[in-house]
Amino acid sequence: MKSYLFPGQGSQFQGMGRELFDAFPDYERQASEVLGYSIRQLCLEDSRHQLGLTQFTQPALFTVNALTYLRKTSDGAQRPDFLAGHSLGEFDALWAAGVFDFPTGLRLVARRGELMSQVRGGGMAAILGLTPNRVRRELQQPALAELDIGNFNAYEQTVISGPKEAIERAIPIFENAGARAIPLNVSAPFHSRYMLETQRAFAVELEALDLGSPSIPVIANFTALPHTPENLREHLSLQIANPVRWIETIEYLLRQGVSEFEEIGPGNVLTKLVRQIRGRTAFAG
């Protein structure tokens, strides 16, 4: 069995999609019309240095992920048995499963990026070399009480999220515990309690949309289980202020018999995470 995986924010780079825009001109045109600016210029030239800003990163990456999927399927590739995406990538997975069309998905992602960009004063850091349980224990210290876990990426890669000052305090504490602590180039404490107002605002946006049922099972970041039509809106909004459960997502897919994972989008971040998870889990076969 096979699963396609769509990457999220952090996988973008200037020049992404170069070979895709000419192949799918109608989608390029739709994207630029929806966004009100040239998606090609943003991705390839980035003359205003906007590609790293959340409100621009998210629609740009959604578009390039989608075009990568279109190229894959137009080449006659095998239909995947499951779909999953990391944070933003979950929206590409839902689009590929037919939950909404491309313009609707792009409008939704653009609004999500706009709302998330309004949160200021926070940051994130990757903690490498400690298990998730050990990271949890360290966060119980009073000095780190303001921090949450944002991403359970792999057994030795957990991302913490919260105020910048708390992130700065945490780095030497985790280094003394034997970890590498790497601040991430983000503008807000994504997937943490500090995104609750954004989560509520995004829930309102979702209520206004007519969403279909997934034609291919899509694994939710919030539960690490397949979305259902009944919980789709709720779980997509809850994703914003809760951790990405990527370890459990991959382990769920392995339990279903998935043996082949393919990353659909720029970079290979998720491919590396899958390799790390499979090296530690009992479900790797």
List the catalytic residues: 87, 191
Question: How many CB atoms are closer than 10 A to CB 238?
Answer: 17
**Tokens describing residue 250:** 């991959």
Q: Are strands 82-85 and 2-6 parallel, antiparallel or unpaired?
A: parallel
- Which positions ≥6 away from 72 have C-beta within 8 Å? 4, 262, 264
Residue 208: phi, psi to the nearest 5?
-80, -5
Task: Give the distance, in angstroms, between the CA of residue 182 and the centroid of all CA atoms in the same chain.
Answer: 19
- Which positions ≥6 away from 98 have C-beta within 8 Å? 212, 213, 214, 215, 216
What is the SS3 assignment for 217-237?
CEECCCCCCECCCCCHHHHHH
Buried b (16+ CB within 10 A) or exposed e, 10-47: bbbeeebbeebbeebeebbebbbebbeeebbebbbebe
- Which positions ≥6 away from 96 have C-beta within 8 Å? 4, 6, 66, 69, 83, 216
Q: Is there a contact between 262 and 5 (Cβ–Cβ < 8 Å)?
A: yes
Based on C-alpha coordinates, what's the Rg of the chain?
A: 18
Cα–Cα distances in angstroms (integers) from residue 222 to residues 84, 94, 277, in the given order: 12, 14, 18
Spatial CA neighbour of 139 closest among 107, 177, 84, 110 = 177
